[in-house]
């Protein structure tokens, strides 16, 4: 039960107090003016009351001067109050919030990771080179900041700390992307090799493979509060040691497929020629003449080079 409450708390937005930043600038200026006025009043009257009021106003002016923050679209500040997580502040604009809260800047914008191709084995054991592109963004600020190590306390500037924190997220995504890509590559064959045309392969089933890859990445990145909106394979090739052999095999398969199509067409054309000669009663052919004609037509239609015509001056027996 305690775990469920904690998960609900993690998803809550910051609902504490905040004020318009420009209004607080005016108030802060007024406070500093009052501090100066109290100093002049105390010096002029040489009484202790003006200095007491001045001390209170000075403390308030210093506190009010430290709570200003500005956020651009798709940015957030993860707030903690003396170590207690109070939620992310996402309101765009210039505001004043409690200066006693610690804030960690994060970016909610989508980012792209273009991973270099890696060598893996596909489902059939063939070594291949495969790369991917990942579009990701930060989704759960609590998990992103507190469930993985993103300590950038050695950064001097707030902007530098935020950039370094996002770079750590990117390295985390890169490592998990490598692991997911290896797993997905082992689930599919590079090509169906002319066997089962309905089999999903890395080469032919890009949409299905990309969906599985996105799902595997989201499973791994959920612990870090990161979400993958798109993942796709952008490079796919056989490894150099087998590339030449696979190329010859693909060429052989292409030649066989072309030959099959040529033979099917040639047989169809021969049948059409015989049927046409019979229907038009142009000439009557016995079985021997039909066999010779079929042989000659198949040689002409299936040959790689143009056939050399031979004029037959003989006569046909009716």
pLDDT of the chain, 318 residues: tens digit per residue: 344 444 444 557 787 788 888 998 999 899 899 988 888 888 787 777 878 888 888 898 888 888 888 988 988 888 888 888 888 888 889 999 988 888 888 888 899 999 888 998 888 888 889 999 999 999 888 888 888 776 655 554 555 677 888 888 889 999 999 999 999 988 888 877 656 667 788 887 778 889 999 999 999 998 888 999 999 988 888 887 765 666 766 666 676 677 777 777 777 777 777 777 677 666 666 677 667 767 766 666 666 666 666 655 555 554
What pLDDT, on a 0 to 100 scale, did the predictor assign at position 136? 93
Cα–Cα distances (Å) from 21 to 28, 30, 93, 94, 255, in that order, read 10, 14, 9, 5, 74
Spatial CA neighbour of 31 closest among 58, 6, 4 = 58
Neighbour tally for 184: CB within 10 Å: 23
What pLDDT, on a 0 to 100 scale, did the predictor assign at position 176? 92
pTM of the model: 0.66
What pLDDT, on a 0 to 100 scale, did the predictor assign at position 61? 87
Domains of the chain listed by start with CATH number: 2-107 (no CATH), 112-238 (3.30.479.30), 244-302 (no CATH)
Phi, psi of 107 (to 5 degrees): -105, 135
Distance, in Å, from the CA atom of 6 to the CA atom of 1, rounded to the nearest integer, reads 9
What pLDDT, on a 0 to 100 scale, did the predictor assign at position 135? 94
What pLDDT, on a 0 to 100 scale, did the predictor assign at position 318? 46
Cα–Cα distances (Å) from 107 to 1, 7, 161, 165, 173, in that order, read 32, 22, 11, 9, 15
Neighbour tally for 264: CB within 10 Å: 10
What pLDDT, on a 0 to 100 scale, did the predictor assign at position 6? 44
């Amino acid at each position: 039960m305690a775990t469920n409450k904690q998960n609900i708390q993690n998803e809550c937005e910051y609902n504490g107090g905040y004020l318009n930043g420009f209004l607080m600038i005016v108030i802060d200026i007024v406070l500093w003016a009052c501090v100066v006025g109290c100093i002049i009043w105390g010096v002029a009257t040489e009484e202790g009351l003006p200095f007491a009021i001045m001390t209170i106003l000075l403390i308030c002016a210093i506190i009010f001067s430290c709570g200003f923050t500005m956020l651009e679209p798709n940015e957030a500040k993860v707030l903690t109050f003396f170590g207690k997580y109070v939620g992310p502040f996402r309101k765009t604009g210039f505001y004043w919030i409690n200066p006693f809260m610690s804030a960690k800047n994060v970016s909610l914008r989508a980012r792209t990771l273009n991973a270099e191709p890696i060598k893996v084995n596909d489902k059939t054991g063939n070594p291949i080179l495969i790369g991917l592109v990942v579009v990701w963004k930060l989704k759960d600020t609590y998990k992103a900041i507190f469930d993985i190590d993103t300590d950038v306390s050695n950064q001097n500037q707030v902007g530098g700390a935020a950039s370094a924190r996002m770079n750590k997220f990117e390295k985390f995504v890169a490592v998990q992307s490598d692991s997911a890509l290896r797993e997905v590559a082992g689930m599919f064959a590079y090509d169906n090799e002319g066997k089962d045309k309905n089999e999903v392969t890395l080469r032919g089933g890009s949409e299905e493979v990309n969906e599985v890859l996105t799902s595997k990445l989201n499973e791994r990145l959920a612990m870090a509060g990161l979400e993958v909106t798109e993942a796709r394979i952008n490079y796919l090739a056989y490894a150099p040691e087998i590339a030449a052999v696979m190329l010859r095999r693909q060429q052989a398969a292409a030649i066989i497929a072309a030959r099959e199509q040529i033979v099917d067409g040639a047989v169809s054309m021969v049948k059409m020629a015989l049927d046409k000669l019979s229907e038009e009663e142009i000439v009557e052919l016995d079985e021997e003449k039909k066999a010779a004609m079929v042989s000659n037509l198949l040689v002409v239609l299936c040959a790689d080079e143009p056939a050399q015509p031979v004029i037959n001056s003989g006569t046909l027996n009716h």
